[in-house]
Amino acid sequence: MNNLSEQTSASRLEHFPITFFAMIMGMTGLTLVWEKASKVFAAPAIIGQLLLTLTACLFLILALIYLMKIMLKTPAVIAEFQHPIKLSFFPAFSINLILMSVATLGISENLSFILWSTGTALQLILTVYVLNQWIHHIKFQVIHMTPSWFIPIVGNILVPIAGVEHGYTELSWFFFSIGVIYWIVLKTLVLNRMMFHDPMPEKLLPTMFILIAPPAVGFISYMKLNGELDNFARILFYSAMFLIVLLLSQLPRFTRIRFFLSWWAYSFPLAASAIAAQLMYVTLGQPFYYYLALLLVSLATVVIVLLFLRTLLAVIRHEICLPE
């Protein structure tokens, strides 16, 4: 019995997916939503504090489990690192460090800087590595391209949010430039894949929501860098809002998809759009943006809470960490 249990645990560790770190992106996004809401809507600050504590604990747990996988199941990690789709999820780790640096700005500037500098350096390394893999590939095909390929790029756009606060404005512009330029290139390629090639598998359909993240995050970062609302900022904001409308118009299609960890692709983009809407309201002060921000904060919160509960249920039922 003990041997069977050990074998089962070893198998689950071997199949523990790198995509789990997308959950931390969503949870940290929700943390930032409520940290912002405490200032914009006078929401209780304790909500953001509790979310930050929960997210930090989850991040540490997942990081420790994946470290065990690296040490004990190295071939499985290498296989993920060479996988044409899963490769894009490795920068989720550096993105989480950058997001945590933003979330801890109001708690400890030193801690925030350590998280930001570590995450930023790792993000650059992973971006260069992933781009090299894409350029000099021998295995990638059009069918492998999904919106998850945005993940290595979105991380660069996030850098200025804490980077400007730490005094690294020019470095922040460097990363912002990488993110925006390559986002436009990748968006063209992804739309070409979706429009003119075979439909994506059901499991990957939720990744379409990742399309929202670059313009929403780009708006937040650009406002941090530029300091005012100009026409380019408006283009970023309204393009993100249109994508939300476009994807929500397909809601019946998404509700028929059975649960996969890819459902977490709904989370961070919705959180980013909720923060962007709050920032737009603070900037313009118009009632329309107040209600838009309130709606998106509510939507992001409900979706991410449901995702967390459904994932917890899947863990209890042993529906995750299984061979594909």
The pLDDT of residue 321 is above 80 = no
Q: Sorting pLDDT into bands at 50, 70 and 90, what band is 61? A: very high
The pLDDT of residue 112 is above 50 = yes
Annotated domain spans of the chain: 2-316
Note the pLDDT of residue 155. 87
The model's pLDDT over 257-285, given as tens digits with 9 standing for 90+, comes to: 888 888 898 999 999 999 999 999 999 99
Residue with tokens 């977490």: 264
The pLDDT of residue 2 is above 60 = no
The model's pLDDT over 153-203, given as tens digits with 9 standing for 90+, comes to: 888 999 999 999 999 999 999 999 999 999 988 888 888 888 877 777 788
Note the pLDDT of residue 134. 81
C-alpha pair distances (Å), 142 with each of 146, 202, 211: 9, 17, 17
Side-chain half-sphere exposure of 284, counting CA atoms within 13 A:
18
- Which phi and psi (to 5°) does residue 163 adopt? -60, -40
The pLDDT of residue 322 is above 80 = no
Note the pLDDT of residue 3. 52
Yes or no: domain 2-316 corresponds to CATH 1.50.10.150: yes
Dihedral in degrees, nearest 10, Cα atoms 31, 33, 38, 42:
-140
The pLDDT of residue 4 is above 50 = no
Note the pLDDT of residue 256. 84
- Which phi and psi (to 5°) does residue 278 adopt? -65, -40
